[in-house]
Structure 1
Amino acid sequence: MNKKAKRWLLAVGAVLLAIVMWGFVEPYILDVEEQEAVITNLPADMEGEKIAVIGDFQVGLWLDNVWTARQAVEDVIEMDPAAILITGDYLYHVESMDDPKLAEVMDIMRPLADSGIPVYSVLGNHDYAMSAEDAEPNMELAQGLADELRTLGVVMLDNRNEILLEGTDEDFYVVGLGSHWAGNDLPNEAFEGVPEEAPRMVLMHNPDSFAMLEAGAAPVAVAGHTHGGQIRTPFSSTWSYLSLFQGGEVTADGWIEDEYGAEENDLYVNRGIGMSITPMRINSVPEITVFTLTASD
């Protein structure tokens, strides 16, 4: 091998090493995405209210991202939004309620309980100990986690809805769907009792649940699960390691603008905090989303 070829190999190796090293740094960078949530029939007295979204802590992965999860909790408390929505996947490869990682999750969440800010959440597939879509859901773990979160004052919304903000003319609802992989995303149950014209946001873990919603049911829906692709090609919103597992191109974060879901429904995908398989992120920094409620024209 001549000297020129060796130099090229060394240069390529140095670049690859730098990318890998950066992949272990990026999980500790926390991005705040400011977005508008354009809501049908939003009462005037709710205009400008803020809703913060975090999720996908994935506590239990080797070199998991507990530091950033704690920082995200601290940051959203300082923002003092009207409410906080959490997209699920608190755990990663935890099989029983005896696992010490469960106590770590509760410790991360406890400041939210102490803050007095209303917190609403759903569960994700890893909260059922499901690392693959065809895995058997651990119902005991999921129920136990949900019960523990309730003791902290978290309102669990798996196929339920609650009035998030009381308005002068209309109440504002948050509707939650259960885990898609666990076969527990049931829109008919989730929307039961929500007036047809009532303003609302819809919370889910997996973006695949969004396709199940009827037209106009979700003027703003928010999901997690994808980690923004976690490791993805720069300058591309659609190619990532997620594409390799799911096939084709996957839009893994932000507003999903492709033809997906029914008319008059809009989905935003949050990149989350934690990681799967490997404790790296490349071109997909952890995210807090802050929505400002805005009335539709």
Structure 2
Amino acid sequence: MNKYLWRRIKYFILCIAGLLLALLIWGVIEPYYLDREAVVAEIPLLSPSWQGKKIAVVSDFQIGMWMANTRTVAQSIDRIVAERPAAALIAGDFVYKPGDNLTPELDRVIQLVRPLVVAQIPTYAVLGNHDYGAKAVTEASASDIQRADRIQQALEASGIQVLKNEAIVLPNADRTAENDRLYLVGIGAYLPKQSQPQQAIAQVPSSAARFVLMHNPGSFAELPPGTAPIAVAGHTHGGQIRIPFLPEWSWMSFVEERSSWSWISQIRGDIVRVSGWIPGYGNADNRLYINRGIGFSNLPIRFNCRPELTVFTLQAKT
């Protein structure tokens, strides 16, 4: 091999190594840049008093993981407070790996979310699989449920209501009549088999507007047709590491337990998305939006997948 050719090969290798290093450095930096996604939620039967109101959604704090992205969690909470939405929703996975001593993680979670309560923004949550310690579809053990109950109790003691397969009426200072109600439906965690979507949605009158919150998108497929015109989930982290222009490929979809992502096989269409609106999934007249979350799984890196605060503006669907 002549010297000229060898020199070109070395330059090529150095360029590839430099590019990979640059991508790695950006993957460590990107998690600290929060995206605010403005989304219109079209809801049938929405009353005029809810028209134009905003609902903010965040997900997947994963407190307790090494290099946990608490700075961006705090930034997202501050942004919600500045937005002054009608409600704030947190779609589960408050902690990363709950152990016997949850106190440090719980203290940090409560510290992070306290500004929402201080600002008197009605805040609601569901729990995720990490809050139970589940990574695959499996029956939750007594200790798993005990740890999740402790997380729920701490959140509710701080002023955040946790919903588990139940529906409530969202508070609305402008409400003047019974038909002005907007229901929030909160569904239990899917992987530890705490998810009962049909039981939850059955609590909403058929003539009432509703907004559905869950952690794992797998719960969405069980909602009967036309019962969830707007639903939001977390869990996927948007894939966490994504190749630009290839929304169907992400690192998370390969490293996660297959049962954790089994819902993907139910999506109809050529492109499989794990964040934003998910077309071709679920029953007729139901729509699912997946928030990219804020924290991490396995590696403290995001690439082409910035953390997300979703702000839904409510509109009546005619």
TM-score of the superposed pair, with normalisation by structure 1: 0.96
Q: Which amino acid aligns with 1:256?
A: I
Give the alignment of 1:11-90 within 5 angstroms: 11-90=15-94
Q: Which amino acid aligns with 1:109?
A: V
Q: Which amino acid aligns with 2:105?
A: K
**Structure 2 CA distance for partners of 1:65 and 1:205, relative to 1, 3 Å:** same
Conserved 8 A contact 2:54-2:313: yes
Conserved 8 A contact 1:97-1:144: no
Structure 1 CA distance for aligned equivalents of residues 195 and 149 of structure 2 = 15
Q: Which amino acid aligns with 1:289?
A: T
Structure 2 CA distance for aligned equivalents of residues 136 and 176 of structure 1 = 19
Residue aligned with 1:142, SS: helix
Residue 8 of structure 2, aligned match among 4, 7, 16 = 4
Shift of 1:132: 3.6
Structure 2 CA distance for aligned equivalents of residues 194 and 132 of structure 1 = 30
Q: Which amino acid aligns with 2:284?
A: E
Shift of 1:115: 1.1
Residue aligned with 2:115, SS: helix
Conserved 8 A contact 2:197-2:220: no
Shift of 1:52: 0.3
Shift of 1:189: 2.6
Structure 2 CA distance for aligned equivalents of residues 223 and 89 of structure 1 = 11
Deviation by residue 1:49-105 (Cα, 9 ceiling, x = unmatched): 000001100011110101100111111011000000110000001213444122111
Give the alignment of 1:83-162 within 5 angstroms: 83-134=87-138, 136-137=140-141, 138-162=144-168
Give the alignment of 1:237-256 within 5 angstroms: 237-245=247-255, 246=258, 250-256=272-278
Deviation by residue 1:194-244 (Cα, 9 ceiling, x = unmatched): 101210100000011100100011000000000010001111221101232
Shift of 1:187: 1.9
Q: Which amino acid aligns with 2:157?
A: T
Conserved 8 A contact 2:140-2:193: no
Q: Which amino acid aligns with 2:209?
A: P
Conserved 8 A contact 2:138-2:193: no
1:267 maps to: 288
Q: Give the paired residue count.
A: 296
Comparing 133-142 and 40-49, the one that deviates more: 133-142
Residue aligned with 1:214, SS: coil
Conserved 8 A contact 1:165-1:173: no
2:268 maps to: none
Residue 206 of structure 1, aligned match among 211, 216, 228 = 216
Structure 1 CA distance for aligned equivalents of residues 236 and 314 of structure 2 = 24
Whether 1:177 and 2:199 are equivalent positions in the alignment is: no
Comparing 166-175 and 155-164, the one that deviates more: 166-175
Q: Which amino acid aligns with 1:150?
A: E
Conserved 8 A contact 2:198-2:224: no
Deviation by residue 1:94-142 (Cα, 9 ceiling, x = unmatched): 2134441221111111111111010010000000012344485511110
Shift of 1:285: 0.2
Q: Which amino acid aligns with 1:255?
A: W
Structure 1 residue ranges (4+ consecutive) displaced by more than 2 angstroms after TM superposition: 96-99, 131-137, 165-170, 245-250
Residue aligned with 2:36, SS: strand
Conserved 8 A contact 1:187-1:213: yes
2:311 maps to: 290
1:280 maps to: 301
Conserved 8 A contact 1:242-1:250: no
Root-mean-square deviation over aligned CA pairs: 1.6
